[in-house]
Structure 1
Amino acid sequence: MTFVPEPPDPDDGRAPYEQVASSLRAAIRTRRLGPGEKLPSHARLTELYGFARATIQRALRDLEDEGLVVSRKGSGVYVRNRTERPAGLRPYVEQAFAKDVVTIDFAGFSSETLHGALQEPLDKIRVGRLTPSSIAVRILVPDMSVPQAAPVRMEDGADDERLRERMRDIMVGYTRSIRDGIAELEHLGLVADTSINVRVHSGTQFFKLYVINNEDAFFGYYPIRPNKVVSQGKTVEIYDLVGKDTTLFHHSINDVEPSGGAQQVQQARMWFDSVWETIGRDFDLDAR
């Protein structure tokens, strides 16, 4: 299949080489350019993107530095055979919104990373560059009204209601923003149907999981590390779950290698649905 990139966004403020690198990176992550596949020539990429040859060369160098492509003298530039693990979430989320029906299930601690990954596709819907007809998001998080294994005070490992209230406020802040941003698209008539549902459970969430369009699953662990936070005006030393830079491992139903990708996605969906439908309890983001 001939590779055809999305046209450059005239409102994208990044340098041209960053735009090209981002476009090719997304194509590789979502397998529009598959493992081992040869990229179009420099001349062809210059024609496709409308940028100077030096811009294309700089973008390809960046992708080579990231380990996504390899340059073979006298032959061309190829996608590396193994680029699927670890993976970045953002390009897959952006690609998901190119489909008519978008579904995202998230299980984790605060939804901060999901919030960040959603901003660009939501902006593209607002300006008419993406046009899904429905978006459904389910968010599954720990119930911070009950004690958790973490966060806890470092000095004695004890539960502290102030820490749970802080985490609850962080989760509610990011999740409300996701809800309001997606609901706005329906109010503006840009997406016909949207739903954002949140449920809580009593267990501590030691990992994060994303299932996107029932085709891709991302899994990563939350390490527990010492941290200092300010809660109710006081500095508290705690053992905290840290997830912003967690390495995510990707599995896809379209995996061509014998890695069990389809089974991994199926099991991720099964786990999420089982918790959601049994011990998950509806959570009102606007309640106090």
Structure 2
Amino acid sequence: MAVDWARGGPDLLVALDRGAGPLGIQLQDQLRTAIRDRRLGAGERLPSTRRLADLLGVSRSTVVDAYEQLLAEGYVESTVGSGTRVAAIPGGLTLRAPGVASSPSRPIVADFEYGIPDLGSAPLTDWSWAVSEATRALPTAELGDADPAGSPHLREVVTAYHRRVRSGCAVAEDAVVVSGFRQGLAFTLATLAQHGIRRIALEDPGPREHDLIARRACLDPVPVPVDDGGLDVDRLHASGARAVLLTPAHQCPTGVALGPTRRRDLIAWADEVDGVILEDDYDAEFRYDRQPVGSLQGLNPGRVIALGSVSKTLTPAMRLGWVLAPPRFVPGIVEEQRLSSRGTPALDQEALALLMESGRYDRHLRRMREIYRARRDVLAVEVEHAFGPGRLHGLAAGCHALLRLPDGTSEHTVVTTAAAMGVRVNGLAHYRFPGMETEPRPPALVLGFGNVSESQIREGIRTLARSAGHGGSDRA
């Protein structure tokens, strides 16, 4: 859909050389090149002839002649009341380099990518309401550079929510608002380095690229194995790390929850080594068998930094998150943010605060919990029929589960065969710590079910079963 511009249309960067020949020819050539290179896309409006003439310091007739030439050649189209726009050229101009062949796209049967919520259920109507309210209510004085720690209003709301839903004990002064989890993690790791921490333990298997983020902060990442009880705290002791990053409520990607004894052992480890626990609290709200496991931050707020965002609960496009840290770390995290980005957009912060304060956020989570529960149940039934009982793990919470393949099955073969049949999925090896992929671990697939429909789940699991050589997948 074309966007109607204000009178005169958009600006356009064109440089004319008055000593290099007729200006009209130069203008035609530059516009053709911009259209061919897709710097001007189909349907994009060009400036009015009067406005472009003023911008370039040429006569209007020069611009009119150039537009008429491009119109005659089919590069642009002109409609009364709509101005001059770039034409949609059948067959298409392309940026592809010569000699690079395109490959036909294959229809996607199901995409079991981990970590993607149901994008079609994002509460855009509620968000639109919240943005409208924020625009109306935010004082003019708060439209300038925001407090780098974040909106006081949102910090109050987020910490109140964390206390109410996650059993934490942070207050507004402990919170820093950031643009998503990864930004918060980068700022936090840089702050830990400033406090003399040099080594951080990461889960193996675990979320991807956290080792790269740690190295960018000048920390040495070391792997610590995860088993059916969660992070192996004894191996953490042996690692020599003084910080650890983990996903205790629903481990990524195995789906296990950190057991109560290990939670206590982890807190004891932090006290013993003067260490810090970084808690990635990414999908704890989606618990199906009972209420969510409480945040580690509530057990020892002086040793735990909790990081959260709305990427899994709302949509990654909103890019809002928070860091709840002990007071000694907050100034460093705030300073990292101030030097990096001067903070997160104030209007978005106010909108999120209103969304949560109004109850719309909780209402959305309740609705999504039931949607995900139904998809999880379909997934469990289909996997049991196709692969047999007892192979699906991590179903108590979150939007992904672990499908353990029969011993001797090649993860790589199943993944590549499934991809050729239109099903996207990652094997457990995809989440191994770099250099640890060769350590023995049972073959498994990580099945994200947040952004797939129930019918896609059914067809996708049957396709995976065929990829793994299981006849039970042929049920109609």
TM-score of the two chains, using structure 1 as the length reference: 0.29
Greater share of strand: 1
Highest Rg: 1 or 2? 2
Higher relative contact order (CA 8 A, sep 6+): 2
Greater share of helix: 2
